[in-house]
Amino acid sequence: MKRILFISLFLSFIAFSSIDANAQCKNFAKKVCMLELVPYVHDGIYNAAVLQEGDAVELYKTFYSGQEYRIAICGVDELPQIHFQVMDKDRNVLYDNKKNDYSKVWDFILQTSQQLVISIQVNTTDELGDVIPTGCVAVLVGFMNKENSFDQF
């Protein structure tokens, strides 16, 4: 009986720790990464996860033709540089931030509406240590709202 109680408590702890980490990560995205979108309007979706050195993830998102977009990638300072690529459905690379000194943002307009793949990888370092760097990485998307653009004043 004690063993079942221990396992239940342990699983509850893991679940709440995961929820807490995701909440902190979403907070990081809101407070720190949103600044990377200015002057674009955030699409309202916070894509953020706790990653560690060497981790890779992909995000699939639909973008519409004629709309000006900004993709912003942001990670905590403890992590190595973050490499991101944007690819079309056939995995042709449209943008690679490695070729642009690991830029955190990419601004673009598509000729046709399409689903794109945003591939994110936390680079590895040659440093040896007891602790693998871990932290929040956020991907935010913004669009230019031409009706409320400051350029019209």
Q: Is the peptide bond before 133 cis (omega within 30 degrees of 0)?
A: no
| Cα 110 from chain centroid (whole Å) | 20
Give whole-number Cα distances, 19 to 36, 50, 52, 130, in Å.
25, 11, 17, 26
Which residues make Cβ contacts (< 8 Å) with residue 28, sequence separation at least 6?
Answer: 48, 74, 76, 136, 138
Residue 13 maps to which CATH number? Answer: 2.60.120.380
pLDDT at residue 102, as a whole number: 96
Residue 133, both tokens: 């760097």
| C-alpha closest to that of 122 among 62, 78, 68, 70 | 78
Cα Rg of the chain, angstroms: 18
Task: Name the pTM for this structure.
Answer: 0.79
Count of alpha carbons within 13 angstroms of residue 74, beta-carbon side: 23
pLDDT at residue 100, as a whole number: 96
The total of structural domains in the chain comes to 1
Find the domain containing 32 and state its range: 2-152
pLDDT at residue 59, as a whole number: 97
Residue 14 CB coordination number (10 Å): 10
DSSP letters for 17-41: HHHHHHHHHHHHHHHTGGGGGTTSE
Mean pLDDT by 10 residues, the chain (153 residues): 44 42 84 93 95 96 97 95 97 98 97 97 82 92 75 38
pLDDT at residue 76, as a whole number: 94
